[in-house]
Amino acid sequence: MFELPFADLIFRAQETHRRHFDANAVQRSALLSIKTGGCSEDCGYCSQSARRDTGLERGKLMELAEVITAARAARDGGATRFCMGAAWRGPKEGDLAKVIAMVRAVKDLGMEACLTLGLLGEGQAEQLAAAGLDYYNHNLDTGAEYYDQVVTTHSQPARVDTLMKVRAAGMKICCGGIIGMGESRHVRASLLAQLAKLDPPPESVPINHLVAIPGTPMENAPPLDPFEFVRTIACARIAMPTSWVRLSAGRQQMSDELQALCFLAGANSIFYGERLLTTDNAEASRDSALFSRLGLRPV
């Protein structure tokens, strides 16, 4: 699929997209970093690893009241899902109880709730499901053959194990990866094949463009041809026809025209709001203008 002429690939992606979705409807999720920095892991793209100096200030787990204020603002701004992320290898039991209170509060505000807390231990997925968590985000991040060039402190099979726990507990899976980390096209195809082979495939598939962060090993990653990113979105759409494909990190660095190509290729979800986890996102006012110029409808 990656090798198809661009127009043929986009045509196939559109055909697939329109069979399963309203092609003009785009879902909006808001993100909040509830615990920032100081992470034990060494993921080469990440600003939050304690193993390197990215100038990021290390924070404690946020208080419930602050999370509620942020969630209410996100809802009032039009987000339908609120995603909370923590810079952990995985949650400790005491922290999990605090996070569960946050999930309940988000649900009380009438939004879907999503968490990304790292690797889950025995029984933790069940506790999150019981609290009403809709989605758990845990990315494969890259193709299996490239993973150990990106992360050495945990393995990709360990991540797959967490995904199985999430599924067994009855929650929906949000799982995708990062494009532009110097990987080959073969690795990009392999990531998408691994995602599509999950049974069932993830309900939500975030495709992140690497945000190159000074102080990380990927600071000087070779630039990716923007059309290759669009191709990756199109292939994700074709390989996972009924999943929400999210145009995730990296939108702020993209032109409106490139984002439009991504929507044309079958992306139908975005992160919405001024911040991702530790970096800025495209401004809500820019997104509203883009939606209206393209006739896109938020859902």
| Interaction site with ligand DTB (CB under 6 A) | 31, 47, 85, 116, 137, 139, 176, 206, 208, 211, 248-249, 276-279
Q: How far is the CB of 76 from ligand SAM (least distance, A)?
A: 25
Which residues is 269 bridged to in the sheet? 27, 246
Q: Count of alpha carbons within 13 Å of 216, Cβ hemisphere only?
A: 20
Q: How far is the CB of 8 from ligand DTB (least distance, A)?
A: 28
Q: How far is the CB of 40 from ligand SF4 (least distance, A)?
A: 7
CA distances from 60 to 71, 135, 206 (A): 18, 23, 26
Distance between CA atoms of residues 172 and 195, nearest Å: 14
Q: How far is the CB of 140 from ligand DTB (least distance, A)?
A: 10
How wide is the angle at C-alpha 111 spanned by C-alphas 106 and 116, nearest 5°?
65
| Choices 4-12, 52-60, 189-197, 209-217 (CB under 6 A): range interacting with ligand SAM | 209-217
CA 153 to chain centre: 21
Which tokens hold the place of 131? 């609290």
> Which entry of ligand SF4, ligand SAM, ligand DTB, none binds 138, CB below 5 to 8 A by partner kind?
ligand SAM
Q: Which of 43, 175, 235, 262 is catalytic?
A: 43
Is 174 assigned a catalytic role?
Answer: yes
Say if residue 298 is exposed, middle or buried (CB neighbours under 10 Å; 0-12, 13-18, 19+). Answer: middle
Number of residues that bind ligand SF4 (CB under 6 A): 9
Q: Which of 39, 175, 235, 262 is catalytic?
A: 39
> Which entry of ligand DTB, ligand SAM, ligand SF4, none binds 12, CB below 5 to 8 A by partner kind?
none
Q: Which of 174, 175, 235, 262 is catalytic?
A: 174
| Choices 46-54, 73-81, 221-229, 240-248 (CB under 6 A): range interacting with ligand SF4 | 46-54
Q: Rule CB under 6 A: is residue 259 a binding residue for ligand SF4?
A: no
Three-state SS annotation for 55-124: CCCCCCCCCHHHHHHHHHHHHHCCCCEEEEEECCCCCCHHHHHHHHHHHHHHHHCCCEEEEECCCCCCCH
SS3 183: coil
Is 175 assigned a catalytic role?
Answer: no
Q: Which amino acid is at 75?
A: R
Is 262 assigned a catalytic role?
Answer: no
Which tokens hold the place of 31? 């993100």
Which of residues 252 and 288 has its CB atom nearest to ligand SAM in the complex? Answer: 252
Q: Which of 12, 81, 114, 251 is catalytic?
A: 114
Which tokens hold the place of 243? 């999943």
Interface contacts to ligand SAM, rule CB under 6 A: 45-46, 48, 85, 87-88, 116, 118, 138-139, 141, 178, 208, 210-211, 213, 249, 277
Which stretches of the chain bind ligand SF4, using CB under 6 A?
Answer: 39, 41, 43, 46, 48-49, 87, 89, 118
Catalytic residues: 39, 43, 46, 83, 114, 174, 246
